[in-house]
Chain A
Amino acid sequence: MSFIRQHLASGRSAREVLASHLNQIDALNPQIHAFISVEGRDAARAVASAEANPKGKLAGVPIAIKDNLCVTGWETTCGSRILKGFFSPYNATVINRLLAEGAVLTGRVNMDEFAFGSSCETSCYGPTRNPWDTERVPGGSSGGSAAAVAAGLVPVALGSDTGGSVRQPASFCGVVGLKPTYGRVSRYGLVAFASSLDQIGPITATVEDSARILEVIAGHDSMDSTSSRVPVEPYSKPLGETIKGLRVGLPKEFLSFPLPPDVQAAFDRSIKILTDAGAEIVPVSLPHTEHAVSVYYIVGPCEASSNLARFDGVRYGDRDLGAKSLADLYLRTRQQGLGAEAKRRIILGTFALSSGYYDAYYLKAMKVRRKMIDDYERAFQQADVLICPTAPSGAFKIGEKTSDPMSMYLSDIYTLSANLVGVPAISVPCGYTAQGLPVGLQFMSKPFAETTLLKAAYAFEQKSGAADRRPKIYAS
């Protein structure tokens, strides 16, 4: 069912594929608002080069790009007013790698401002809607990416994941979202939110497509010191191999979070599917899990407060021309250019890093983070993969949580640990809520064990059949 495999085998022309997706965008994007811009001219140019070089691993595959990945000549705004008018002069490394394999980049998809959010509601372009229920959020921050794939506007989208920003929207939209190991994919050209947590990942309709995208975008990059030299594996090759004897760890701390009965049922059913496939379920413990949210909401905002300092109106992006002095320029530009959630995180991070508080917050958080890494190392001695729900619920209603940041933050409780410890994680559809909204199952594995991770996720996907359903809007 992999789009990429089918497409490459079908011999369908890249032109035809692009045209049908552009039609889908025309038809559905007004309701979904996943795309914030369609780059038809660049896509047509890419189609021409894909036709000239049909051997590319992604020749003619339409891909949507999250608004925080730099593409030469594209406005790159991170869903923020402050970057309005910033047209990137360069390509992110992942963009170059996709283009080299003949991918057809179709345009920009929406996101929470600077990836701060779990609902895609904080974008300066307005919210993206969930294709399963347009009154609901698609999740976030890569909500545009997930909604675009779920609605069939593109078979593949790139997102970025700092605390669950690829996996949580994948769960909400009934698609697959992969966050690779920290360092597996170059971050060069990804506008930084939290440098030690950010990782670029694909959102696709199937596990195999994610594996095929990872094969292209992974690998060391001399432009990113944090990118790893661990060799890239042919991730799509072992898909379909048996998972008999695979040790699947159930972290007891994750199981203790309260879940609505329908989500719980979907999770319980997932365990049974894996057991039936021959996996061995082992209980594991991650004792520091209860601190994950606190640690994340210190480390993330600290790094973000520094990473966002460059948006000062001096060199690029939006600037207030009425400024009377330098301080006034900074104040006006940032007051008007940044949204409430961005300001909240900048203030949080600035406070936590300030003299006299650094030890109590940042340093302490980094120590707990170290302990969490130890927890995971121990757990992975007992288990090959860990599983838990991706999110504690299905998609919530637009506006439901905007006034309550804490409840919004808690929608990431299952996902942000993987970023804090750097391990790879994937969300695969595993069932539906009582209202028919998709929910995902999250797998995690040891660092750089994406092959194992994808093999397990693929086996689950094949047995569960949960990914076979499509939102009604897609079929219409």
Chain B
Amino acid sequence: MTIKYDVVIGLEVHVQLASKTKIFCGCPTTFGAVPNSQVCQICAGYPGTLPVLNARVFDLGMTAVLAIGGTVAKRVKFDRKNYFYPDLPKGYQISQYDLPLGSGGGVDIIGDDGKPRKINITRLHLEEDAGKLTHDARASFVDLNRAGVPLAEIVSEPEIKSSSEAYAYLTHLKAIVKAAGVSDADMEKGQLRCDANVSIRRSAADPFGTRVEIKNINSFKNVRAALDYEIARQIKAVEAGEAIVQETRQFDAAKGTTHSMRSKEQAHDYRYFPEPDLVPFIVETTEIEAVRSRLPELPAQKRERMMKQYGLTDYDARLLIENSGLVSVFENLAGRIAASQHKNLVNWLIGSVMAYANERAGEVEDMRIEENHIVIPTRPAVEILGIDSGDAGKPIRLSVDGFLEILSLIEKGAVSLKACREEVFPEWVKTGQPPSKIVEAKGLGQISDTGALESACDEVISKNPKSVEDYKAGKENALMFLVGQVMKASKGKANPNLVNELLKKKLK
């Protein structure tokens, strides 16, 4: 027997703000630079140096708060979070403690129950990143390039009920911060990092269970793995009659497990106090409204517009807007085709195009229209060695005319959907030949000529009086049999929809 547990998850997401320079000094934030090459005396915590808040970072912070629907604090202050670690050059991190820059707001997700739900956000605060440590057998090395990189920490309410909801929350949050231009939110580059607080209880009516913090969840894939492991671990412990210990656990991506980092007793006392080197300041309402007026279209607004403007379902609209590359290509192409084909366009982009791109290590997020081509950059060769490195690194280029021709061939019924997916598309991406030529060369054309099909239908009707009688008596299956006979007679080339229509008309 299994008892159902109520799972409670809260996420703390660190988003790197898209500023070219650090939060308290002028050093660049470029990813992947030579260790300690983007460091000055300020971010290295040299004696006598002082922080000065980067105005651009503050602007991005306010934008982030407004993008998630939060309220910007009237009074802004920073605090020191004190602890010793070699990657923390000053011995304290400048953060915001009791007065975060933003409070409230939320992210709309589709819950596990299939219904839309808002995951509320508690707070958003600004802080500086620490450096990075690497270790070898001899020694440990400190790289301070990341020290002082601007972060927004976004803390959710404990309202997430499963790993898949956590995944959905993260995906949507990422889409929001990207759309708002607040962050590139590339998890691989550490621009989006996530810690989770997880607890379980017998029922939603019970008080919260003991909370365990999971650190080091550094990829989207790991979000699910880490949470599923931790939930299972807690359930197993509870079933075995053990108490859950309040602690911080680290996720080990290689093993897919979490292990204890420190107990509640070992927890740091961060000795927060107001940062005396940065003077608290008041944010004028006009300043906040100016930032609000510059906000670009955000995913929720975009989703509604997609549904209204293109007649897409909520589901399709969500699928599209999760991916900035897809949505931009969709919007570009949708204007060139009839409204009746929009659904088809979504299906082909999400289906065949995405699948092909994934196969070739394409970065669909960065997909775009360029010189009348759908262009999809690919990851460097080294990452896809062993797959098909021949063209690795080169962007995928698909001609827009060819792609639209495929859509129109289907629309006209000149070729079956199946044939198009399985034969035409693969051949087209390989050779770049016009799809209509491929259909012709492979003999995949459907007979959509009413005249030609009418005689075939008449012949089948006259040869199968029993079925005709059954159909007229109300047996729908009989029609399917008759359609099948026409298809057989045409060697599969007849357009089944058209045959269906013709037979129905003739048997009225």
B91 touches A312 (CB 8 A): yes
Given A90-B41, A225-B278, is A188 in contact with B50 using a C-beta cutoff of 8 Å?
yes
Select from chain B the residue with minimum beta-carbon distance to A327: B84
List of A residues within 8 angstroms of B41 by Cβ: 89-90
With both beta carbons as reference points, the residue of chain B lying nearest to A183 in the complex is identified as B279
Taking A70-B48, A83-B47, A312-B91 as contacts, is the C-beta distance between A355 and B269 under 8 angstroms?
yes
Segment 260-314 of B: residues with Cβ below 8 Å from A: 269, 271-273, 276-279
Check B45 for interface membership: any CB of A closer than 8 A. yes
B91, A310: Cβ atoms closer than 8 Å = yes
Per-position contact with B for A141-155: 1 when CB-CB < 8 Å, else 0?
Answer: 000000000000000
Known: A309-B90, A309-B92, A362-B273. A192 touches B48 (CB 8 A): yes
Say if the beta carbon of A103 comes within 8 Å of chain B: no
Contact B273 A306 (CB under 8 A): yes
Q: Which residue of chain B has its CB nearest to the CB of A195? A: B276
**A315 and B45: CB pair below 8 A?**
yes
With both chains docked as a complex, state the minimum distance between the C-beta of A157 and any C-beta of chain B, in angstroms.
18
Question: A316 contacts which chain B residues (CB < 8 A)?
Answer: 46-47
CB pair A314 B86 closer than 8 Å: yes
Known: A306-B80, A353-B82. A225 touches B51 (CB 8 A): yes
Check B243 for interface membership: any CB of A closer than 8 A.
Answer: no
B89 / chain A contacts, CB cutoff of 8 Å: 310, 314-315
Question: Does A454 count as interface, using CB distance less than 8 angstroms?
Answer: no
Q: Identify B273's interface contact among A190, A222, A330, A358, CB under 8 A.
A: A358
**Judging by beta carbons under 8 Å apart, are A354 and B269 in contact?**
yes
A326 within 8 A of B: yes
CB–CB B47/A76 < 8 A: yes
B142 at the interface (CB under 8 A from A): yes
Chain B positions 71-117 with a Cβ under 8 Å from a chain A Cβ? 80, 82, 84, 86, 89-92
Does A88 lie at the interface of the complex (its beta carbon under 8 Å from any beta carbon of B)? yes
Q: In whole angstroms, how far apart are the Cα atoms of A350 and B277 in the complex?
A: 18
- Scoring B44, B53, B271 by chain A CB atoms within 10 A of each residue's CB, the highest score goes to B271
Q: How many A-B residue pairs have CB under 8 A?
A: 102
Are B92 and A226 in contact (CB-based, < 8 A)? no
Encode A298-327 as 1/0 by CB contact (under 8 A) with B: 000011011011111011100000000010
A2 to B136, CA, bound (A): 62
Q: A225-B50, A309-B82, A326-B86 are in contact. Are A302 and B45 (CB under 8 A)?
A: no
Residues of the B chain whose Cβ atoms lie less than 8 Å from the Cβ of A187:
50
A350 to B82, CA, bound (A): 10
B49 at the interface (CB under 8 A from A): yes
| CB–CB B45/A310 < 8 A | yes
Bitwise, A72-109 to B at CB < 8 A (1) or not (0) is 00001010000100101110100000000000000000
Point out the residues of chain B lying under 8 angstroms from A56, CB to CB: none
A373 sits at the interface (CB 8 A): no
A353-B90 Cα distance, complex, nearest whole Å: 17
Q: Is the CB of A196 closer than 8 A to any CB of chain B? A: yes
Given the known A-B contacts A223-B52, A225-B278, are A354 and B271 also in contact in the complex, defined by CB atoms under 8 Å?
yes
CB of B52 within 8 A of CB of A226, answer no
Q: Does A189 contact B (CB under 8 A)?
A: yes
Contact between A225 and B279, CB atoms less than 8 A apart: yes
Contact flags (1/0) for A185-202 with B, using CB distance below 8 Å? 001111110111000000
Q: Report A223 CB to chain B, min CB distance, Å.
A: 6
Separation of A110 and B419 alpha carbons in the complex (Å): 88
Taking a contact as CB atoms under 8 Å apart, the answer to whether A225 and B277 are in contact is: yes
Question: Is residue A26 within 8 Å, beta carbon to beta carbon, of the partner chain?
Answer: no
In the assembled complex, which residues on chain B have CB atoms less than 8 Å from the CB atom of A78?
47
Within 8 A of B (CB), among A100-144: none
Determine how close the nearest CB of chain A comes to the CB of B146; give it in whole angstroms.
15
Distance of A326 Cα from B92 Cα, bound (Å)? 17
Are A89 and B46 in contact (CB-based, < 8 A)?
yes
**Chain A residues within 8 Å of B47, by CB:** 70, 76, 78, 83, 86, 88, 191-192, 310-311, 316
8 Å CB contact of B276 from A303, A305, A330, A358: A303
- Residues of A within 8 Å of B276, CB to CB, are 194-196, 226, 303
- Bits for A161-195, please: 1 = Cβ < 8 Å to B, else 0: 00000000000000000000000000111111011
- Output the nearest chain B residue to A355 by Cβ-Cβ distance: B269
**Docked CA distance A309–B84 (Å):** 7
Contact, CB under 8 Å: B48 / A188: yes
**Chain A contacts for B45, CB-based, 8 A:** 310, 315
Task: For chain B, residues 121 to 155, give those with C-beta under 8 angstroms from any C-beta of chain A.
Answer: 140, 142
Residue contact B52 to A222, C-beta cutoff 8 Å: yes
A302 pairs with B273, CB closer than 8 A: yes
Q: Is the CB of A310 within 8 A of B50?
A: no
Chain A residues, Cβ within 8 Å of B277: 192, 195, 225-226
A332-362, CB under 8 A of B: which get 1 and which 0?
0000000000000000001001110010001
Chain B positions within 8 Å of A358 at CB level: 271-273
Q: Most chain-A CB neighbours within 10 Å: which of B49, B82, B92?
A: B49
In the complex, chain A residues whose CB is within 8 Å of the CB of B142: 314-315
Partner of A189, one of B48, B51, B84, B278: B48
Q: Which residue of B lies closest to A224 (CB)?
A: B50
B271 lies within 8 A of A355 (CB) = yes
Q: Which residues on A sit within 8 Å (CB–CB) of B279? A: 225-226
Q: How far is the CA of A354 from the CA of B92 in the complex (A)?
A: 14
The reply to whether B271 and A306 form a contact with Cβ atoms under 8 Å apart is: yes
| Chain A residues, CB < 8 A from B90 | 309-310
Determine whether the beta carbon of A353 is less than 8 Å from that of B271. yes
Chain A contacts for B48, CB-based, 8 A: 68-70, 76, 88, 92, 188-192
Find out whether the CB atom of A188 lies under 8 angstroms from the CB atom of B82.
Answer: no
Chain A contacts for B91, CB-based, 8 A? 306, 308-310, 312
Chain B positions within 8 Å of A86 at CB level: 47
Tell me the complex Cα distance, A355–B92, Å: 16
Asked if A225 and B53 sit within 8 Å, CB to CB, the answer is: yes
Query: B33-56 interface mask toward A, CB cutoff 8 Å, 1 = contact, 0 = none?
Result: 000000001001111111111000
Docked CA distance A90–B35 (Å):
21
Tell me, rounded to whole Å, the shortest Cβ–Cβ distance linking B470 to chain A.
83
Neighbouring B residues of A355 by C-beta, 8 Å = 269, 271
Interface residues of A in 345-403 (CB under 8 A from B): 350, 353-355, 358, 362
Closest to B85 in A: A326
Given contacts A310-B91, A350-B271, contact A315 B84 (CB under 8 A): no
Q: Could you list 12 further interchain pairs (A-B, Cβ under 8 angstroms) beyond the known A226-B276, A354-B271?
A: A76-B48, A189-B48, A192-B277, A303-B273, A305-B271, A309-B82, A310-B45, A312-B86, A316-B46, A353-B273, A355-B271, A358-B272
3 A-B pairs with the lowest CB-CB distances in the bound complex, closest first? A309-B91, A195-B276, A353-B271
A-B contact pairs, 29 of them (CB 8 A): A68-B48, A70-B47, A76-B48, A83-B47, A86-B47, A89-B46, A90-B41, A187-B50, A188-B48, A190-B48, A192-B277, A223-B50, A224-B50, A225-B50, A225-B279, A226-B276, A306-B80, A306-B271, A309-B82, A309-B91, A310-B47, A310-B90, A314-B86, A316-B46, A330-B84, A353-B271, A355-B269, A355-B271, A358-B273
- Chain B positions within 8 Å of A, measured between CB atoms, are 41, 44-53, 80, 82, 84, 86, 89-92, 140, 142, 269, 271-273, 276-279
